[in-house]
Amino acid sequence: MIERTSVNIIEHTRAVTRCALEIAEVFAKEYDEKIRVNRDYLLAGALLHDVGKLFEYEKVKGKFVKSEEGKLQRHPISGAAFASQHGLPQEVIHIIVSHSKEGDGARNTGEAVIVNHADFVNFEALEI
């Protein structure tokens, strides 16, 4: 579960991915070639943006708590390291590492900006 909500990681990931793809669709229709979005990178980055949460938390006595790894580094860092170990393109790794506050000021691809904003709009809307 995402803290303070009843949304799980699968629902959140699906919502972020769908929002990101919709933004890309609007850009394609409205801006044509002025904003180019690599849909493969966008889709992979959106689907994997929170993969590091699998390392950041662990289940202890039926409850999810910060793992030792999670206490040392947040999920964007561990997710990017995981993606790198498995040979994903740097563009996808960039999306993973820059989707959250760790990437503030470092989002230098359109795909990373889209996933960052799709993630935050979903997360912030759930806090209302």
Q: Torsions phi, psi of 107, nearest 5?
A: -85, 95
Q: What's residue 2's pLDDT? A: 47
- Name 77's Cβ contacts closer than 8 Å, sequence gap at least 6: 52, 97, 102
pTM of the full predicted structure? 0.88
pLDDT (tens digit per residue) in 56-91: 888 899 888 889 998 999 999 999 999 999 999 999
All structural domains of the chain: 9-126 (1.10.3210.10)
pLDDT (tens digit per residue) in 26-62: 999 999 889 999 999 999 999 999 999 998 888 899 8
